[in-house]
Amino acid sequence: MRTSFRPPASAGLRPKKQVPHNVKTSRRAAWIFAPSLLVSFVFVYVFIGVTVYISLSNWKIGTSPNLSLREPFGGTYGEIIQEQRFQADIRNVVIFTVIFLVLAILGGLVAALFIHHVAVGKGLFRTVFLLPYALSFIVTGVAWRWIFSPSTGVNQILRNLGIENPPGWTTDTTVLGALNDPTGTDFLKVQFGIPVALLPIIFAAGWQLVGFAMAMYLAGLASIPEEHLEAASVDGANTWQRLRHIVLPQLWPSTITCFVLLLHVALKIFDLVVAMSGSGPGFVTDVPGIYIYNYLSSRYDKASAMAIILLLLTLAVIVPYLIRGYRRERKA
Amino acid sequence: MRSSNKLKVSLAATAVASLIAVTGCAANQPAGSAGGGTDKLEITSWWTSGSEADALNVLIDGVKKSSSGLSVDNAAVSGGGGANARQALAARLQAGSPPDSWQLHPAGQLKSYVDGGQVADLTDLWTQNNWAAQMPKDVAEAQQVGGKYYTVPIGVHRGNVLWTNPAVLSKANVTIDSATGVDGLIGSLKQVQAADVTPVCLGDKDIFASAELLESIIMSRTGADNWKKLFTGGYSFDSPEVKQALEDYKTILSLSNKDHSAITWDEAAKKMANGSCAVNLMGDWAYGELLNAGKKPGTDFSWVTFPGKEDVFDYVGDGFSIPAKNIPHADAANAWLKTLMDPKIQTEFAAKKGSIPALTTADISKLSPYQQEAAKSFAKASVVSSLAHAQASTAEFAQTYADAVSTLNGSGNVSAFVASMTQAQKTQLK
């Protein structure tokens, strides 16, 4: 596609009828894309606009709309950022996203390298790693809830091994590496740090999405030309050097794709948390998705404001990525 | 470069496609939304657990008997003490495709549906059948908003019941007496702890279980009249009695199973009956749940009213309303409401559900000892509405309360709880 938009520096060499042909194709392309552009405009951008408006309105009960603007302007945002629950949600979603991405992407890379190099049972391992991804979060969430149940689950095994005080898993309210000590009536009402209760949920999510990252990396690995690796071997590069200087750089596009696709899984996480722990004591495992759900019927404006904040969080990461990709494309 | 870009695009496209395929984009199709005859009836509720589903079937069989050839679509949604079902209903009401009838709590919760213009005025039906004369005044009043009836009551539940395990208590040589108040209860629970048994079973994965425990303690400390005034602004959450109740709550929480936030209310009730702990506070829907689990009342478990300074009945009512607009099957919905108000059906329903009939004309002599006791208490106790079940006030106020309880469970910070509730009293009670 891109070649057709280049300035016709070499056009003189080509037969003249080629240019109208290209114009015709791009016109046809515009017609083909028009319906989907229109649909995505209405269902994405118009709806975002409506949600922004609702978040600024007085609409409380979900089923009886009140579209008058709230005084003072944006009061709902001012209200929710002071809430302990909101602050806990933002902390949780940031911690969840960071650890989950690292876990799933590294896990996927290791699994892909392992399967790519293993001599026997490639198909078997691939299936084993991919299988969890095919299941619903609700299904795996229920199983993980039983596994991490403090009184039964995995703690039963730990107790049999002689560990007297096994972890409380999702019931633990400890915050690791807390940066502040809130009294509960100041503006900052939560401890910012890593909530221990979130770790089993991050682990479960990581376990489920490792197969997805692995599939991405396997495709990336398959596209690395064998000659590059052979040439490096001839030049005396060892396994680590080949991985570090040839394989990993060429997997970078796969990493970026994984990052973007897994990021929105992390930011929108809802079902897994609902099945595993719910909001948790003091909202240690609450996430924006549950917040929105809880307030849908009693405070439509608050639920909408949270949805917009969630959107802004996503944009904060995605927009720099898009800008970078756009610049690179223009350079090429 | 170009080939790796193409690869990137195709990879991304495959991934997006597979994500869409796996996460599923199927829309929720409301069932039974066509036609206007009496052949079909769709009802929604949050009755999905064993005993609840059995009780609901009594009603469904009843309406099928009264209108032959009727097929009933039971669109129950489980979880969250009804919160999930209400979400599903809200979406359908907004879309203009309501079920023929839905379950709801009276008073505060009913009011939000009336304010939204979503429930039909049933005053004519009430006067024609003279229902008001067949039930206690408190129950009849809770079915009204602004003097008009909008719902019919199928049963009365009590929220503040303390379920006990007689074997565990006698082993620890402890008795629990409602007359000794909250202080007496805490003393008894500490004795149980001294005997190396977990005193309290709690299952608050769904926060309503904690919210209900706390409200039982608050109404025990404040008494019924002040509890009611909390929702009119006539009494503050910043009062010594409420603060004392919050301290009591923290003590009782410290005497509970450590994994309370990981288990559900029914799991906690069964744990108590299995002897893992001495007591469990839960509404009397736990009675039916325990019977269903094969537990024998009197031997496997017993009960007392939650100890307090007076006999308070924490009323959690179940009723059904019909939509004001777009009702799919009006005749069947009418037959349904009349079936619910049949004394025989109410008795049969109560036997399965563990509640007491709303109609005093219903025969209670065949009900369980617990229910007969509850029915007698209902007649003489001070009746108040539950906040944990969004009956005492609006959905917004109830959600603020639930959030404040969650926060308190994590931090133990009483002043933060009081601050957010007094703020809610100022801004939300209009």
Q: Give A48→chain B minimum CA distance, Å.
A: 18
Distance (Å, whole) CA A181 – CA B100: 52
- Set of chain A residues whose Cβ sits within 8 Å of the Cβ of B205: 277-278
Contact B207 A83 (CB under 8 A): no
**What kind and span of H or E run contains B101?**
strand B101-104
CA distances in angstroms from B223 to A313, B215, B235, B255, listed in the order given:
47, 11, 12, 24
Residue B85: phi and psi, rounded to 5, are -65, -40
Report CB contact under 8 Å: B406, A61.
Answer: no
Q: Which of B3, B117, B258 sits opposite A64 (nearest CB)?
A: B117
Angle at A142 between CA A137 and CA B287, to 5 degrees: 140
Q: Which residues of B touch A4 (CB under 8 A)?
A: none
What's the pLDDT score for residue B394? 86
Residue A185: predicted pLDDT:
63
Helix axis angle for B240-254 and B181-194, nearest 10°, is 20
Closest CA in chain A for residue B114: A64
- Please check whether residue A318 is in contact with residue A263, taking contact to mean a CB–CB distance below 8 angstroms: yes
ipTM of the complex: 0.84
pLDDT band at A48 (very low <50, low <70, confident <90, very high): very high
Which pTM was predicted? 0.84
Between residues B85 and A186, the one the model is more confident about: B85
Q: Residues near B149 by Cβ (< 8 Å), separated by ≥ 6?
A: B121, B122, B123, B125, B126, B143
Choice among A242-251, A311-320, B149-158 with the minimum mean pLDDT: A311-320
Q: How confident is the model at residue A184 (pLDDT cuts 50, 70, 90)?
A: low
B137 touching chain A per CB within 8 A: no
Is the pLDDT at A18 greater than 80? The verdict is no
Is a pLDDT exceeding 60 seen at residue B3? no
pLDDT tier, B309 (very low <50, low <70, confident <90, very high otherwise): confident
- pLDDT tens by residue, B92-101: 988 889 999 9
Per-residue pLDDT, B83: 78
For strands B302-305 and B161-164, give the pairing: antiparallel
Please tell me the least confidently modeled range out of B47-51, B141-145, B261-265. Answer: B47-51
Query: pLDDT tens digit string along A76-94?
Result: 999 999 999 999 999 999 9
User: HSE-up of B204 (CA within 13 Å, CB side)?
Assistant: 34
**Amino acid at site A191:** Q
Rounded to the nearest 10 degrees, how much is the dihedral formed by the CA atoms of A253, A257, A260, A264? -170
Higher pLDDT, B29 or A187: A187
User: What are chain B's domains?
Assistant: 17-158+318-380 (3.40.190.10), 168-314+386-428 (3.40.190.10)
User: Which residues 288-347 of B are in CB contact (within 8 Å) with A?
Assistant: none
Q: Is the pLDDT of residue B362 over 50?
A: yes
Residues of chain A contacting residue B257, judged by C-beta atoms under 8 Å apart: 151
Asked if the model's pLDDT at residue B278 lies above 90, the reply is yes
Q: How far apart are CA B111 and CA A222, in angstroms?
A: 63
Alpha-carbon gap: A283 to the closest alpha carbon of chain B (Å): 6
B262/A277 Cβ within 8 A: yes
B395 to chain A nearest CA, in Å? 5
Size of interface A-B (CB pairs under 8 A): 136
* Higher per-residue pLDDT: B31 or B345: B345
Judge: A278–B263 Cβ closer than 8 Å, yes or no. no
Asked if the Cβ–Cβ distance from A149 to B115 is below 8 Å, we say no
Over range A289-294, report the average pLDDT: 93
pLDDT of residue A58: 92
Question: Any chain A CB within 8 A of the CB of B410?
Answer: yes
Which residues of chain A make contact with B118, given a CB cutoff of 8 A? 63-64
What residues 339-378 of chain B have any CB closer than 8 A to a CB of chain A? Answer: none
The burial class, CB within 10 Å (0-12 / 13-18 / 19+), for A56 is buried
Q: What is the pLDDT of residue A216?
A: 94
Confidence category of residue A12, pLDDT binned at 50, 70, 90: very low
Find chain A residues with C-beta within 8 A of B8's C-beta: 253, 256-257
Q: Is B130 exposed, middle or buried (0-12, 13-18, 19+ CB in 10 A)?
A: exposed
Q: How far away is chain A from the Cα of B259, in angstroms, using its nearest Cα?
A: 6
Tens of pLDDT, residue by residue over B195-242, are 999 999 999 999 999 999 999 999 999 999 999 999 988 999 999 999
Q: Which of A20-24, B115-119, B296-300 has the highest mean pLDDT?
A: B296-300
pLDDT value for A26:
81
Q: How far is A284 from chain B (nearest CA, A)?
A: 8
* Shortest CA gap B323–chain A (Å): 13
- Tell me, yes or no, if B20 comes closer than 8 A to chain A by beta carbon: no
Burial of A125 (0-12, 13-18, 19+ CB in 10 A): middle
Residue B32 has pLDDT above 60, yes or no: no
φ and ψ at residue A110, rounded to 5 degrees: -65, -45
B305 sits in which H/E element: strand B302-305
- Please say if the pLDDT value at position B152 is more than 50: yes
Token pair for residue A308? 């917009």
Compute the distance between CA of residue A272 and CA of residue A202 in angstroms, rounded to an integer.
10
Residue B67: per-residue pLDDT: 87
